[in-house]
Amino acid sequence: MTVFDTNKTRGKARHDWDMKTSLTDRYCKTVTEEGKHSDGGGLYLHVIGERKYWRLAYRFGGKQKTASLGVYPAVSLKEARALAAEKKALLAQGIDPNAARQEAKEEARIDASAAFATVAAQWFENVAKARAWGDKHRLKVRRQLDRHILPALGDMDIRELHPQQIVAFVQGIELTGIPTTAHDCLDLIRRICAHAVQMGIRETSPAAHLKDVLGKVESQPMRHITDPDRIGEILLTLERAQVLLPATKAYARLLPMLFTRPSELRLMRWAEIGGDLWTKPAATMKKRRAHLIPLPRQAVAILDGLRLFTGQHEYAFTNGNSGKPITDGALQRLLIRNGLHDEITWHGWRHTASTLLNEQGFNRDHIEIQLSHADGNKVRGTYNHAQYLEDRRAMLQRWADYLDDLKARALAKESTNKNTNTDTNSDTNKR
């Protein structure tokens, strides 16, 4: 092997690897001669073109081997000598430096994959895609992760996460005066830890049995209305709303009539519609149960009209020619533009329908099944689901007719007020 004596005859080649030589910082900086420039003891600077690499030559198990120590000048001469000393210390212990390095890399890779932040990212991507989260919910979950959970737990090895640490974290959030956020964070941590178990990273979840560690939060009902006159006025406003997309108008008319969860209607597929029956697959439902929704005459008419605009797409309520479902943001803007956002929410129509239908004497089981609320008795729930379809069909038709009547009353009242104002103005002008 050719080396260069940097102490006496620089540039003159010799073939004595074992003879001690010593590089200098200046020489490392200025040398351009390609080849291996020895620092002694197996350490050398390997010049290849314009690049300079630190290498350590050594023997292990009767074989000649080479260990990479980095690139000059990122790794200085002093640092290269220190690294070479570390490799030689391993050799003295009977350890192959290259094998030890590979093992360290593998361990680092495993450690990185077990970081809470890594597992959380995998869970978020997989679940968000599988469940077709709406923009609003996806943003909410992302915000909880980024603002609260990851800054505290992100760098932790999820394999070493203990229940006590989780409890201390969520109770700390609770003490800041945001108990709802604390509950949300605990739920997300529980889901992420369950994902770690599914992926084989942990055998058990440290959050699986964490119950009653947070105080109860009084639920606040969604903004909704129960005054029949006001319902009629709002329905009339939504029907008259100026919108760019036919899907948005159709959605605004259908949701009060069917009172499904807003995301379930927003993600309706044409393949799910058969005549006057909407069959929601279990995978698209919050409770992961198939759900049958009878469609009143008014709903069928609205969907028939909408099919002329979006029938070529998978989703019924599409955002223009993209074929993608309309967004939560677009639906919220509809309420804002019409001054309704402080009074109602789309989810609130479920509360409105439940309240009024119960007041009107409809069977509570029929209402709860239409709302897709879980029945605690699974056998009874299955029976109800099968037996109540026609009962619910009659109930929904009555409800759709009732909403039409409220709109008609609101329109009549509006006309009466206009005529009264006209007569009053006419009398004033005569005087």
Helices 135-144 + 179-198 axis angle, to 10: 90
Question: Residue 312: phi, psi to the nearest 5?
Answer: -80, -10
User: CA-CA distance, 268 to 314, in Å (whole number)?
Assistant: 9
Q: Which of 19-33, 141-155, 352-366 has the lowest mean pLDDT?
A: 19-33
Lowest mean pLDDT, pick from 40-44, 74-78, 99-103: 99-103
pLDDT-wise least confident of 52-66, 104-118, 163-177: 104-118
Active site includes 373? Answer: yes
pLDDT over 80 (residue 131): no
- Pick the closest to residue 316 from 235, 247, 223 (CA basis): 247
Tell me the pLDDT tens digit for each residue of 55-69: 999 888 888 888 888
- Known catalytic residue at 211: no
Strand order in the sheet with 63-72: 35-40, 43-48, 51-60, 63-72
pTM above 0.85, yes or no: no
Residue 23 has pLDDT above 80, yes or no: yes
Q: Which of 8-12, 17-21, 129-133, 358-362: highest mean pLDDT?
A: 358-362
Peptide bond into 97 cis (omega under 30): no
DSSP E strand boundaries for 190-318: 273-274, 277-280, 291-294
Which domains are assigned to the chain?
Answer: 3-108 (3.30.160.390), 116-198 (1.10.150), 228-421 (1.10.443.10)
Q: Could you tell me where the beta strands, DSSP code E, fall in 203-288?
A: 273-274, 277-280
Catalytic residue among 26, 105, 286, 288: 286
Residues 344 and 338: their CA atoms lie apart, in Å, by 11
Rg, Å, the chain Cα set: 36
Q: Which residue out of 46, 131, 138, 373 is catalytically annotated?
A: 373
Q: What is the mean pLDDT of residues 109-115?
A: 66
Query: Three-state DSSP class for 352?
Result: helix
Residue 379 has pLDDT above 50, yes or no: no
Active site residue 261: yes
383 flagged as catalytic:
yes
d(CA 26, CA 249): 76
The rounded percent of the chain whose pLDDT value lies above 90 is 43
Q: Which of 37, 87, 249, 261 is catalytic?
A: 261
Mean pLDDT of 348-365: 93
Q: CA-to-CA distance for 271 and 324, rounded, in angstroms?
A: 15
pLDDT of the residue at 218: 60
Q: Which residue has the tokens 């895609």?
A: 129
Q: 144: exposed, middle or buried (C-beta count within 10 Å: 0-12, 13-18, 19+)?
A: middle
Given the residues 105, 142, 324, 383, select the one marked as catalytic.
383
pLDDT in tens, 268-296: 999 999 999 999 887 776 666 778 999 99
Residues 6 or more apart whose Cβ sits within 8 Å of residue 71: 51, 52, 53, 54
Q: Taking residues 77-97, what's their average pLDDT?
A: 88
d(CA 403, CA 305): 19
Residue 318: pLDDT band with limits 50, 70, 90: very high
Q: What are 407-425's pLDDT values in tens digits?
A: 999 999 988 887 776 655 5
Confidence of residue 259 (pLDDT cuts 50, 70, 90): very high
Contact 341, 335 (CB under 8 A): yes
**Which range, 9-18, 136-145, 182-191, is most confident?**
182-191
286 is a catalytic site residue: yes
Q: Tell which phi-psi region holds residue 118, choosing left (phi > 0), alpha (psi between -120 and 50) or beta.
A: alpha
Annotated catalytic, 44? no
Number of residues written out for the chain = 431
**Mean pLDDT, rounded, of the chain:** 83
Residue 343, amino acid: E
Range list of H helices, 241-371: 246-258, 262-266, 297-310, 328-337, 348-359, 364-370
